[in-house]
């Protein structure tokens, strides 16, 4: 049995450096989801899926899905799970909920992404060490590899192979941070110019501070329903029409196939496009939320997701083709660079952005003109795994 599945709505906690605990964030995200869809309450939830990367490290807490159920007053009658896939944990939770509803196991599910990352400035070394856990801890992590130098390698190599410029990296960061200034829950609320990016402190050449996503506390909750149930709640659901995931290389850095391309993203997107009936991504996709953990990431993703030819990602942003009024509006909520990156919540937030774009519920100055098809993308670990999901205003 296969059924159409839709996201009907959801909401966010405030994102940023919060005094709130992991439990506080979970409650805020859950309440925001129910407030956004008043026709659905805790008593209606049959399945609960919680995206959380490292609550064991950041909050000294495991077994978090039953904990969330208790905090939100949900008596889960059918299915509950916590998903962990590093930065793609939220999308993994969405995927599992989608599959469970499509298979007829559930009719209504809550997907909640939560991450508490800020422990106080005095704990910065511990926070950074925890982040290194998403790599192969015994080999890559133990040798001091962290995210900024890793993505700096990609920037250096992409520049060397394709002529990508420092200014093009700045264009990505400036676009996304400016978009985030119009997003109410975002961690960073100021507009940003190209010059301000390179005026920020250098972190790992050629990347500056503003090329890097933040360390963020936050939660996002989305309610998914079967098509029949969704039509009882809203006239504008966002249907999940395709999903792809690929890990074509090993998890360790030395087994990655390239330091300038992500064939895993290309394969994952091709699988999702085939399911969703997408033939030309530039023509068929109106809005995309992609994993811009670093500015170079978005440029490579233009290429691997089929928005630009390989090596032409820098020109894609320079020509304005990824702006809100461009060929494909990329990261209109501000992406990870502007909104921040509470690991387990990011994929859920991306899906909510597409849903709210379809529903016309975002700020008018970042609303895409009449979008009908959207995409979310996450990379995880050493960029060895890529996850892609396609959403549409209409079911297939």
CA distances from 181 to 184, 188, 198, 333, 342 (A): 8, 7, 19, 9, 18
Residues 11 and 73 sit within 8 Å (Cβ to Cβ):
no
Element (H, E) at 375: strand 373-380
| Beta pairing, strands 385-392 & 373-380 | antiparallel
Q: By C-alpha distance, which of 304, 293, 312 is closest to 262?
A: 304
d(CA 291, CA 217): 17
For residue 228, the tally of other CB atoms under 10 A from its CB is 10
Phi, psi of 254 (to 5 degrees): -65, -10
- DSSP string for 16-84: BS-S--HHHHHHHHHHHHHHH-TT--GGG--EEEEE-S-HHHHTS---HHHHHHHHHT---SSEEEEE-
The catalytically annotated residue of 341, 356, 377, 386 is 341
Q: Tokens standing for 15?
A: 């994102």
- What totals of helices (H) and strands (E) does the chain contain, helices first? 15, 12
3-state SS assignment for residue 330:
strand
Q: By C-alpha distance, which of 289, 245, 358 is closest to 6?
A: 358
Q: Tokens standing for 97?
A: 């909920």
Q: Tokens standing for 193?
A: 């110019």
Q: Is 160 designated active site? A: no
Task: For residue 58, give the DSSP letter.
Answer: H
- Among left, alpha and beta (phi > 0; psi -120 to 50; other), residue 80 is beta
Q: Tokens standing for 255?
A: 């087994």
Q: Is 192 designated active site? A: no
Give the angle 31-35-39 at the CA atoms, nearest 5°.
120
| Beta pairing, strands 79-83 & 47-51 | parallel
The catalytically annotated residue of 87, 192, 293, 339 is 87
Residues 340 and 349 sit within 8 Å (Cβ to Cβ):
no
Q: Which residues are catalytic?
A: 87, 341
């Amino acid at each position: 049995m296969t059924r159409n599945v839709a996201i009907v709505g959801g909401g966010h906690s405030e994102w940023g450096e919060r005094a709130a605990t992991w439990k506080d964030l979970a409650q805020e995200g859950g309440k925001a989801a129910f407030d956004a869809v008043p026709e659905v309450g805790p008593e209606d939830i049959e399945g609960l899926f919680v995206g959380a990367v490292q609550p064991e490290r950041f909050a000294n807490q495991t077994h978090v899905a039953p904990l969330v159920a208790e905090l939100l007053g949900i008596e889960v009658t059918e299915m509950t799970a916590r998903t962990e896939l590093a930065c793609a944990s939220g999308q993994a939770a969405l995927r599992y909920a989608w599959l469970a509803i499509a298979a007829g196991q559930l009719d209504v599910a809550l997907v909640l992404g939560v991450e508490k990352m800020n422990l106080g400035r005095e704990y910065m070394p511990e926070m950074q060490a925890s982040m290194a856990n998403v790599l192969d801890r015994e080999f890559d992590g133990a040798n001091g590899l962290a995210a900024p130098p890793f993505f700096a390698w990609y920037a250096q190599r992409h520049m060397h192979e394709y002529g990508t410029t420092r200014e093009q990296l700045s264009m990505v960061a400036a676009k996304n941070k400016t978009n985030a200034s119009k997003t109410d829950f975002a961690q960073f609320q100021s507009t940003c110019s190209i010059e301000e990016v390179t005026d920020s402190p250098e972190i790992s050449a050629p990347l500056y501070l503003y090329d890097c996503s933040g360390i963020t506390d936050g939660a996002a909750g989305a309610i998914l329903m079967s098509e029949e149930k969704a039509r009882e709640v809203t006239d504008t659901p966002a249907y999940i029409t395709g999903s792809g995931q690929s890990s074509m290389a090993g998890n360790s850095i030395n087994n990655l196939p390239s330091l300038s391309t992500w064939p895993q993203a290309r394969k994952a997107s091709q699988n999702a496009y085939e399911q969703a009936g997408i033939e030309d991504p530039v023509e068929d996709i109106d809005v995309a939320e992609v994993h811009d953990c670093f500015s170079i990431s978005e440029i490579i993703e233009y290429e691997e997701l089929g928005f630009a030819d390989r090596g032409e990602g820098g020109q894609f942003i320079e020509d304005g083709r990824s702006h809100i009024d461009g060929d494909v509006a990329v990261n209109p909520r501000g992406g990870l660079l502007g909104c921040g990156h509470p690991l387990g919540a990011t994929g859920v937030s991306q899906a909510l952005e597409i849903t709210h774009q379809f529903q016309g519920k975002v700020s008018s100055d970042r609303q895409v003109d009449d979008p009908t098809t959207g995409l979310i993308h996450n990379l995880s670990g050493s960029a060895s795994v890529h996850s892609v999901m396609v959403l549409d205003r209409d079911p297939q």
